[in-house]
Amino acid sequence: MWKIYLDTFKNCNMCFPPQVEQVKLLDRFSNKSVIGTLHLTATHLIFVESNSTSAQEIWILHHHIASVEKLSLTTSGCPLLIQCRNFRLVHFVIPRERDCHDIYSSLLRLLRPVSYDELYAFSYNPKQNDQQREEGWQLIDLAAEFERMGVPCDQWQLTDVNREYKVCETYPRDLYVPITASKPIIVGSSKFRSKGRFPVLTYFYQEKKAAVCRCSQPLSGFSARCLEDEHMLQAISKSNHNSRYIYVMDTRPKLNALANRAAGKGYENEDNYSNIRFQFVGIENIHVMRGSLQKLLEVVGTRSLSMTDYLVGLENSGWLRHIKAIMDAAIFLAKAVTVEGASVLVHCSDGWDRTAQVCALGSLLMDPYYRTIKGFMVLIEKDWISFGHKFADRCDQLDPDPKEVSPIFTQFLECVWQLTEQFPQAFEFSEWFLIQIHEHVHSCQFGNFLGNSQRQREVLQLKERTYSLWAHLLSEKQNYLNPVYSPSFAESHPVLEPSTQACHFKFWRNMYHQYDRSMHPRQSILKQVLTFKESNRELEGTVQALKTKLQKFGVSTSPLKPQTPPRDRSLPLRPQSLILGAPLLSRKEVQQEEDEEVFGEEAREDAPASTDGERTVEGSSATENGYGELTGSFGSKNEPAVVTLEFGVARMTC
């Protein structure tokens, strides 16, 4: 497959020879290494293992590379350390320094595209025609989504005030506001809000007619007020007859909000707004979050990490504390809306980071639709993409400003994962769906997440020039299904009430160590149960076919029982969470998708000659785990080189 890329490579003027041989790939956590050839293409850096029997390939998209580091020369060669945004870390040792330098400088140039046109999405072609592409983009329709919520209605209407992006250029064209909010009020309010992001509807809880609205901070400074903005909040309040007040959630820590007052910004003064209940939530800003993730990754990337250092490092990074803060805020929002029936206005500073997290997660807690595959796409499209979460800046797509990069969206995905752990039957998708979305937020392979706002996306003509991720994900939906998902769970638990006890928040190993195979369970419950489910579907078909044949012989058969009734004995205690291990990928698929990123390097221990690869223990070895130093008088034997090709974590489709 890489040969195809080499063709495209010819078209770009690169000084670097597209191939370097005898490159050593070091394992991140053990002393193991493999030798192979490094290829550089216009879009990928590819490592192909030389050993012909196993021949693993690693494909690294240039957009995924966060940093390239050339370490000081060693006896075996020149080390090159590549850190990726999808938490992959590869350590190459290149025999000749000259080659290393060439790769290094080529990568530096490649991973910092200067214009949008250079992004992979504009050259990526999944061999679809224009019609298919268009259909892909039409999958998600936000107008239909607001209709599903019951909007427009007698209290909420669509406003055309931002049709030309004149009032707020980071908002979408279509916005929903209270019927009573006239254009002058909207425009006035927008002038009093940072970046013009005035209060608009993002979710409508039909049952109680309560609204979730979002905006940015008011430009209140120490004493400024704005009658239109006060009217705007009143209009939101009046549109809900269930509650006399609305909550205003400022998702920042109070100190940050106070500091903003000095810059002429700040927060709502309760004296000026009638019937608001003002609340700080205390989620930290993008810089704190960036630092926190960095610390976390440093800790978990340590070799031979002790339990103490791990737990202390986890605590010091503050990562789980931040995750819990976001979750707490979302729970507060969901309770205010579903229990009190009150409308809530959420903001932070600019209203595109913390606000997006809290609104999206809060809606997901309230509405089972967002826990389905399609619904989750809609949610991301609505609260993140359309409302202008700055994906380009936060994910460092272009023109890097390191101060703008922050794992805000990753945190949202992690919060959802924490929920899937507490409510294994509530979500139609498994964690591999979340990880896959994370992969593509950074891959720049699809158009969805490019740019910082809807307006910018229109200028870039993304819908005409790129493909939609959602169509791609839906086409391989079966890989992302949660086998124990129960639609009836949504009926009995329309609103999720997660526990917020600290001990229920866990480190998301499958995300942050997705490429570190030695860390994972060697057998996956998720994969196994998905296999059973798939097999059940096939068997049901076989039963039908056999019955038809039997009928030809004049035998009548009883209709197939759809499912056995649950046994009525008391429930046994459950073994731990079901969400584990690698995603389902049949061997067939692996072979079809040659561009699979494969990290299956481990030997199956003494595997008997069995073809039943999926059911056996996926590679685990004593040496890899480093139980202790067994050097000295005994030479360590090499691991038998048998490779299972089934660990495709992040899949690239070219």
Residues designated catalytic? 348
Beta-carbon count within 10 A of 159 CB: 20
Q: Which of 97, 532, 591, 594 binds another protein (CB under 8 A)?
A: 532
Instruction: Return the residues of window 424-463 that contact another protein according to CB under 8 A.
Output: 424-426
Instruction: Return the residues of window 319-338 that contact another protein according to CB under 8 A.
Output: 320-321, 324
Instruction: Return the residues of window 13-72 that contact another protein according to CB under 8 A.
Output: 29
Q: Is 452 annotated as a binding residue?
A: no
Q: Is 351 annotated as a binding residue?
A: yes
Q: Which of 3, 127, 574, 588 binds another protein (CB under 8 A)?
A: 574
Our CB check for another protein shows the closer of 341 and 626 to be 626
Per DSSP, the residues of 505-566 read ----HHHHTTT-GGGS-SS-HHHHHHHHHHHHHHHHHHHHHHHHHHHHTT---PPPPSSPPP
Judge whether 237 and 245 are in contact, CB under 8 Å: yes
| Helix, strand, coil content of the chain in percent (nearest 5) | 40, 15, 45
Our CB check for another protein shows the closer of 7 and 315 to be 315
Our CB check for another protein shows the closer of 300 and 415 to be 300
Q: How far is the CB of 218 from another protein (least distance, A)?
A: 31
Binding mask 282-311 for another protein (x = CB under 8 A): ------------------x----xxxxxxx
Of the listed pieces 59-67, 259-267, 434-442, 575-583, which binds another protein according to CB under 8 A? 575-583
Q: How far is the CB of 422 from another protein (least distance, A)?
A: 7
Q: Give the whole-angstrom CA distance, residue 60 versus residue 157.
A: 47
- Spell out the residues 6+ positions from residue 162 whose beta carbon is closer than 8 angstroms to its own: 168, 171, 172, 173, 174, 175
Binding mask 175-214 for another protein (x = CB under 8 A): ----------------------------------------
Lookup result for tokens 């409308």: 343
Q: Give the whole-angstrom CA distance, residue 530 versus residue 527.
A: 5
Instruction: Return the residues of window 142-181 that contact another protein according to CB under 8 A.
Output: none
Q: Is 353 annotated as a binding residue?
A: yes
Judge whether 47 and 58 are in contact, CB under 8 Å: yes
Of the listed pieces 76-84, 239-247, 356-364, 423-431, which binds another protein according to CB under 8 A? 423-431
609 makes contact with another protein (CB under 8 A): no
Instruction: Return the residues of window 468-497 that contact another protein according to CB under 8 A.
Output: 483-484, 486, 489
Q: Give the whole-angstrom CA distance, residue 94 versus residue 92.
A: 6
Length of the chain: 654
Which spans in 275-399 are helix H?
A: 286-300, 307-317, 319-338, 354-366, 373-379, 391-394
Q: Which of 147, 315, 399, 458 binds another protein (CB under 8 A)?
A: 315
Instruction: Return the residues of window 634-653 that contact another protein according to CB under 8 A.
Output: 634, 636-637
Record the tokens describing residue 222, joined without a space. Answer: 């120490």
Binding mask 502-531 for another protein (x = CB under 8 A): xxxxxx-x---x----xxxxxxxx--xx--
Of the listed pieces 125-133, 203-211, 434-442, 546-554, which binds another protein according to CB under 8 A? 546-554
Residue type, 326: I
Q: Give the whole-angstrom CA distance, residue 203 versus residue 146.
A: 8
Closest CA to 170 of 404, 461, 457, 470: 457
Q: Which of 623, 642, 645, 653 binds another protein (CB under 8 A)?
A: 623
Extract the annotated binding site. Answer: 285-286, 348-354
